[in-house]
Structure 1
Amino acid sequence: MCELMAMSFATPISADFTIREFAARGEENADGWGLGWYPDQSLAVVKEPLKWRASGYAGFLENYPHLLSRIYLAHVRHKTLGGEPTHADTHPFAREHGGRDYCFAHNGTLGPPVWSLPLGPALPLGATDSEHAFCYLLREIAARGRHLDAPGDWAWFHGTLAEVNRLGKFNCLMSDGRRVFCYHDAGGWKSLTFRKVRIRDHQDRHLGDATMTIDLEAGPVNHGIVVATRPLSPEGWHAFRLGELIVLEDGQIRYSSHRRDVLHASTGGRPR
């Protein structure tokens, strides 16, 4: 199956991605990998339609000390639609809208009605249901005439994601460079989990299991939220509820479509 991961932190972090085993999860997801991050509020994406271990980018990304961002999105792919893997079909996908760079990744399969979803200026470059759904979401955001900046916008976006979800299996991550929008399939397909991370006094925090390792480095105090398809370590992870949208900003949970307890738990205080 495809694997998703996202991180949102209060201040930029250096992510020493041994996604070389978001890499080994790439052994069962051998059709591509991709990483998106925001050096500022502009987006950088590196992706290839092959295994991480076969990529020339692997060593560079694992050892590049200036890879700094508050937001990361990662994806490894096992294709369910389309022909041979291509760069255009590899996640995450990127588009500009209204002066913001959007990044999107999805796991699941949407039914044939997805191809009837109307599109606007943003058009797919590849042949995936995922990219078509992304372009449709951007069309809906554009038609509404405002960015997703406030709780009312997030409630509307949750409804729009739920409409897409009715077409099939739909777990997705999207960022506009300010926030990360994380949605779990309403039918419970696969899973989506999150945990909070707090870093103090230049400590490293290692989240890992047999198939994935992530080392985080930061300044004196930093905190964030990590989202992953499956827990990356034995403890501290919470499951998304069915059909839930969680919005991350500056390392905190700003919104949940299903509950309020996580808003307080993510920071120890009230959300702004």
Structure 2
Amino acid sequence: MCELLGMNANKPVETGFSWRGFKHRGGVNGPHRDGFGVGFYRRDGYHDFHDVRASVESPLADLLGQDNIPALIMLGHLRQANEGSVEIRNTYPFTQAMKGRRWCYTMQGQLEEFEVLELSGRFTPLGTTDGEHVFCWLMDQLWQAECDDVSGVCELLRQCGDRLSRMGVFNMMLSDGRTLYTYCSKKMCWLTRRAPFGTVTSLDSGEHIDLEAHCDSDTVYTLLATTPLTSESDWQDMHPGEAMAFCNGERCDVSSPEAVLA
């Protein structure tokens, strides 16, 4: 399956360190060699980059790590293809526009008989993956529900995620440029950083970085990933069936199944 990386911050945060470690999972520390993509929400708008090459072999992936792009939200994806050929149109993140905002989506998993999810035609896949079909279906659900508040979106995504999880494995991240949402079917984790910052080590590359030299004292940001990215002990696992929302660098909402709440 694929690998996910996400970040939400209260002010622009340099993304190079996280990306430089993460990209090793695309061919060195993992079998995810069928392309990659990363989307950034910056103060000047949304930007994304895609390549069909494995991230460990891609000059573009190297450049993204070197440029250290500052962003408020980031969604990264390393692909291990199961549905859809290896081509640019099948690389995440996928995007759609709704109500004046650009929505960005990544998924890790595999769903059986995803074609039973009927699409209205308002949101149309460009590629042939199960993930993009599901993304368009999710956008249909959000459009029809007219959810404008974070809690409403988070709860709807949990309900949709519960249905999709019965079709297979479904871990995902979704953002409208203000909030980063995530749903866990099987495996996801997260970590919030704030001052005082220290030195951390990438589990994938072994690189060390002094976060104090790269973050302001009032910076707060959260990282999300399929598995922990760094040696810090503060990584927290999501519960299966749980949806979360992150705003301004911190968790701002959670929707959990009754089994977790009990």
Q: Please report the TM-score for the alignment, with normalisation by the length of structure 1.
A: 0.84
Aligned partner of 1:57 in structure 2 is 60
Aligned partner of 2:83 in structure 1 is 81
Aligned partner of 1:255 in structure 2 is 253
Distance 1:37 1:247 in 2: 17
Secondary structure of residue in 1 paired with 2:182: strand
Report matched runs for 1:64-75 at 5 Å.
64=67, 67-75=69-77
Secondary structure of residue in 1 paired with 2:22: coil
Aligned partner of 2:160 in structure 1 is 160
Secondary structure of residue in 2 paired with 1:22: helix
Distance 2:24 2:67 in 1: 21
Q: Is the 8 A contact 1:35 1:73 kept in 2?
A: yes
- Matched residue type, 2:170: F
Secondary structure of residue in 2 paired with 1:88: helix
Q: Is the 8 A contact 1:174 1:181 kept in 2?
A: yes
Distance 2:219 2:7 in 1: 13
Secondary structure of residue in 2 paired with 1:91: coil
Q: How far is 1:43 from its partner?
A: 1.7
Q: How far is 1:126 from its partner?
A: 0.6
Deviations 1:29-80 (A, max 9, x none): 0001111110127321111111113323133222225x22111111111011
- Matched residue type, 2:60: Y
Of 173, 191, 206 in structure 1, the residue corresponding to residue 200 of structure 2 is 206
Choose 172-181 or 160-169, whichever is displaced more: 160-169
Secondary structure of residue in 2 paired with 1:164: helix
Q: How far is 1:238 from its partner?
A: 1.0
Deviations 1:143-169 (A, max 9, x none): 12343x232332223212222222211
Distance verdict in 2 for CA 1:254–1:90, change over 3 Å: same
Deviations 1:106-149 (A, max 9, x none): 0110001x1121223111111100000000001111112343x2
Secondary structure of residue in 2 paired with 1:231: coil
Aligned partner of 2:41 in structure 1 is 38
Distance 1:41 1:94 in 2: 17
Distance 1:144 1:212 in 2: 45
Aligned partner of 1:102 in structure 2 is 103
Of 216, 222, 227 in structure 2, the residue corresponding to residue 225 of structure 1 is 222
Aligned partner of 1:135 in structure 2 is 136
- Matched residue type, 1:249: C
> Which has the larger share of helix?
2
Distance 1:115 1:124 in 2: 12
Matched, 1:48 2:51: yes
Secondary structure of residue in 1 paired with 2:89: coil
> Structure 1: where are the runs of 5+ without partners?
260-272
Aligned partner of 1:26 in structure 2 is 26
- Matched residue type, 1:242: P
Aligned partner of 2:260 in structure 1 is none
Q: How many residues align?
A: 249
Q: How far is 1:211 from its partner?
A: 4.4
Same amino acid, percent of matched pairs: 27
Q: How far is 1:9 from its partner?
A: 1.2
Report matched runs for 1:171-210 at 5 Å.
171-185=171-185, 188=186, 191-200=187-196, 206-210=200-204
Distance verdict in 2 for CA 1:245–1:212, change over 3 Å: farther
Q: Is the 8 A contact 1:34 1:76 kept in 2?
A: yes
Distance verdict in 2 for CA 1:22–1:71, change over 3 Å: same
Deviations 1:155-185 (A, max 9, x none): 2232122222222110001111011111100
Of 235, 242, 245 in structure 1, the residue corresponding to residue 243 of structure 2 is 245
Q: How far is 1:207 from its partner?
A: 4.8
Q: Is the 8 A contact 1:73 1:92 kept in 2?
A: yes
Secondary structure of residue in 2 paired with 1:46: strand
Choose 237-246 or 227-236, whichever is displaced more: 227-236
Q: Is the 8 A contact 1:20 1:212 kept in 2?
A: no
